[in-house]
Structure 1
Amino acid sequence: MSTQNLPLTGVKVLDLSTLLPGPLATLMLAEAGADVVKLERPGRGDEMRTYEPKFGEASANYAVLNRGKSAYAVDFKDPAQRDRVLELAAEADVVMEQFRPGVADRLGLGYGAMKSINPRIVYCSITGYGPTGDRASRAGHDLNYLAESGLLGVVTDNNGSPTLPVSVLADIAAGTYPAVVNILLALRQAERSGEGNHIQVSMAHNVQVLGYGYFATHQASGQWPRPGAEQLTGGSPRYRIYPTADRRNIACAALEQKFWDRLVSLVGLDAKFHDDAGQEQAVIAALESVFAAKPASYWRDVLDGEDVCTVVVATWDEAVAAGLVDIDGPDRVVQPGDPSRSFSTMASPIDPALRRTGKSVPYPTLAPLPDVSPWS
């Protein structure tokens, strides 16, 4: 499939967002063919341009999130430059913004101002806590949204304390992805009705999707999950992390009986612990002893090729070698009949040759906004 035939070819996106949730969303639109114009503050631009590590003068994080876009410097507080932004909005199909609630309106760049000149505009606002309420104007980051939603406390360490999540879950799962899905739905609606929409994405509220099982449990029993004590949070021997003799780890997810039966047989667990019902802590202790007796390489040989949903926790190098992390990724374009590719694989964020030399990275340089349309 050529880039001319990607599903969002011809769609114009005006990106006023910074850092991660909005830029990742517009990257996904760009990878599906959209033409993204990113507007940043004059001088240093998006804060992520300053992030480490760098390739030469380029921020690798910024490069990953903003490849394939055009970037221009705009002072949103300058009336003349604001009016220039409105001219671009008149041409755009989608606008992405990530200001605190009310800021875009005060700048004259809110949904009302843009809708008045472009009724078909799909305007997406990503905020931490939504457009209204006591927390609406509060500053926050991913960890704050997870903490206040209750999710951060469901998995705890031996001291009963929560641990840092493996990634920025709220930013991506509760910010980026809801934004992309709803933008696509709104574009479809605009095609059919001629009317755009204002999409409000609250990261703190959307993380509840990640806790669907906890809400289901509460609705059925009236009880909330016990920290570190439920089936998927550490209470079951079938779903846990077990240390090995060489300080590596085993990720066990043998929930179904057939996987559990095969696992305990393979690792040689004492038969009295095969039935874990009612003796979960004893079985956990027994499995800890079994896995701790041998190094990770031994367990990889035992577990590979077996249907037990239990694996060695990989290093990044091991994940790359296994083909599960694609850092070279020669082709991000979907090929007909190829189910292994999607429009936003995030593969090959940086050219391998540039990564090896460390000289520079192709990302949008910050240029003055031209008098002519960057989409023309």
Structure 2
Amino acid sequence: MTRRAAGPLAGIRVLDMTRLAPGPYGSMLLADLGAEVIAIGGGRSGLPVPALSRGKEFITLDLKTTQGRAALHRLVAESDVLMEGFRPGVADRLGAGYAELSALNPRLVYCSVTGYGQTGPLSQRAGHDINYLAIGGALGTFGPPGGPPVPPLNLVADFAGGGLLAAFGIVGALYERERSGRGQYLDAAMVDGVLSMMGMNFTDWGRGALPRRGEGVLTGSMPAYRCYECADGRYVAVGALEKAFFANLWQALDLGAVPDHFDPANFAGIEARLGDAFRQRTMAEWTKFFAGIDACVTPVLEPHELGEFEQIAERYQGFAPESVPAVPVYSRTAAAPGRIDTADATERVLARFGLSAEEAGKAAGTRDASAVTGLRWPPM
């Protein structure tokens, strides 16, 4: 594998020492944009997640050995970006901290991806998406009023507030480096990402748009912005917030005079009328019915159905849930998903940096380099 000739980040080399979901998602985004990504594992780093592994090469380095650290330093000297996801202080103890590596390569953009950040009383604490959502003030707004808060999978903190924010920050630092000639350190915390994304909702909290958890305009409790069950037990999503869209919805269903859909006094009646109407047809029938009506009504699709849905099928031919598209769509330097190969490529990659097979084996923590090849997920 060599650097891609196309893509907006072609010519950029990224070393990824993160694990789990946030960091690997961020480095996958960079790989989709053309960067060469070398994922570095070893110790307790675990095996890679295939869905986040495309376009990457995987190597093993034992940073507790002199040879492993020397190999890392060789890579850093010829790279543009390093991502790590250790608890604060761990990378320094492994000879992979920013001070040491930036001295070797002053142009290095170094990004630490953590849950709580490098400072503060929780910086050394373990956590997951649900914890960062809780601390960031988002989880307290999710879920039904009469039940416990419900996280939307791990999309918000892990992927958006973590991986996506890290990739965004890295691209910004690379752009700035073109002017200054210098790299810099990025402290990308998932809690910070959640705080940033919640800005609009924080200002709405306690007011009509979001008075409390599970209630408000965008929580799924307002009749014009929620899901309705169809005759076959499937659902359609209704997002008819604006007056014109709601009027189109109400009139298309032939429900009579259009009520004020923002007046809470009308909510119960509107919900009952819409609920009764949508239970008269199947989800597929409603999809066809609303195809030419600007009322913001769409089917609630399940992952296995996406490839057959016309919008997805036209934009991404051959779409499959196990290989999501590279985004966004560029007009000249197209983003493109690379192939997935999680086999350990330590010997092959380090050879590009001038290390012999024997040196690669020692750097990986084994005398025989072939002993570290063949790592795959899931294990057989």
Query: Does the 8 A contact of 1:73 with 1:369 survive in 2?
Result: no
Q: CA deviation at 1:159?
A: 3.1
Query: Does the 8 A contact of 1:88 with 1:373 survive in 2?
Result: no
Cα 1:245–1:158 change in 2 (3 A) is: farther
Give the corresponding residue for 1:180.
Answer: 167
Out of 225, 229, 234, the position equivalent to 1:243 is 229
In structure 2, what is the Cα distance between the partners aligned to 1:300 and 1:105? 55
Q: CA deviation at 1:342?
A: 5.4
Cα 1:161–1:336 change in 2 (3 A) is: closer
In structure 1, what is the Cα distance between the partners aligned to 2:224 and 2:65? 60
Cα 1:327–1:82 change in 2 (3 A) is: farther
Cα 1:296–1:271 change in 2 (3 A) is: same
C-alpha root-mean-square deviation of aligned residues, in Å?
3.1
Query: Does the 8 A contact of 1:237 with 1:276 survive in 2?
Result: no
Structure 2 counterpart of 1:366, one-letter code:
D
Query: Does the 8 A contact of 1:245 with 1:296 survive in 2?
Result: yes
Give the corresponding residue for 1:343.
Answer: 335
Out of 57, 75, 78, the position equivalent to 1:70 is 57
In structure 2, what is the Cα distance between the partners aligned to 1:27 and 1:309? 32
Give the corresponding residue for 1:27.
Answer: 28
Cα 1:253–1:166 change in 2 (3 A) is: farther
In structure 1, what is the Cα distance between the partners aligned to 2:95 and 2:130? 31
Structure 2 counterpart of 1:183, one-letter code:
I
Give the corresponding residue for 2:360.
Answer: none
Please list, as runs of the form range in 1=range in 2, the aligned pairs for 1:88-107 lying within 5 A after superposition: 88-107=75-94
In structure 2, what is the Cα distance between the partners aligned to 1:283 and 1:25? 43
Query: Does the 8 A contact of 2:4 with 2:36 survive in 1?
Result: no
Normalising to structure 2: TM-score of the pair? 0.81
Query: Does the 8 A contact of 2:42 with 2:61 survive in 1?
Result: yes
Identity rate, percent: 34
In structure 2, what is the Cα distance between the partners aligned to 1:109 and 1:196? 16
Give the corresponding residue for 1:366.
Answer: 344
Residue 149 (1) aligns with residue 127 (2): no
Residue 228 (1) aligns with residue 214 (2): yes
- Secondary structure of 1:304 counterpart: helix
Give the corresponding residue for 1:193.
Answer: 180
In structure 2, what is the Cα distance between the partners aligned to 1:38 and 1:260? 49
- My pick for the range that moved more, 248-257 or 8-17, is 8-17
Residue 159 (1) aligns with residue 146 (2): yes
Please list, as runs of the form range in 1=range in 2, the aligned pairs for 1:214-293 lying within 5 A after superposition: 214-218=201-205, 225-271=211-257, 273=259, 275-277=261-263, 278-293=265-280
Query: Does the 8 A contact of 2:26 with 2:167 survive in 1?
Result: yes
Q: CA deviation at 1:301?
A: 2.8
Gaps of 5+ in 2: 355-380
In structure 1, what is the Cα distance between the partners aligned to 2:16 and 2:166? 13
Count, aligned residues:
344
Structure 2 counterpart of 1:41, one-letter code:
G
Give the corresponding residue for 2:289.
Answer: 302
Normalising to structure 1: TM-score of the pair? 0.81
Residue 47 (1) aligns with residue 58 (2): no
In structure 2, what is the Cα distance between the partners aligned to 1:8 and 1:223? 40
Structure 2 counterpart of 1:279, one-letter code:
N
Structure 2 counterpart of 1:47, one-letter code:
G
Cα 1:300–1:328 change in 2 (3 A) is: closer
Give the corresponding residue for 2:11.
Answer: 10
Structure 1 counterpart of 2:237, one-letter code:
A
Out of 185, 195, 217, the position equivalent to 1:208 is 195
Cα 1:180–1:335 change in 2 (3 A) is: closer
Query: Does the 8 A contact of 1:266 with 1:302 survive in 2?
Result: no
Structure 2 counterpart of 1:117, one-letter code:
L
1:325-368 deviation line (CA, Å, top 9, x unaligned): 64735996999847xx9526x5xx76xxxxxxxxxxx5131144
- Secondary structure of 1:279 counterpart: helix
1:224-243 deviation line (CA, Å, top 9, x unaligned): 74111110013421111111
Structure 2 counterpart of 1:190, one-letter code:
R
Cα 1:147–1:285 change in 2 (3 A) is: farther
Cα 1:371–1:147 change in 2 (3 A) is: closer
Give the corresponding residue for 1:122.
Answer: 109
- My pick for the range that moved more, 65-74 or 131-140, is 65-74
Q: CA deviation at 1:104?
A: 0.5
1:261-303 deviation line (CA, Å, top 9, x unaligned): 0101112335374655232233223322222233223322321
Query: Does the 8 A contact of 2:8 with 2:34 survive in 1?
Result: yes
Gaps of 5+ in 1: 50-61, 351-361
Query: Does the 8 A contact of 2:247 with 2:258 survive in 1?
Result: no
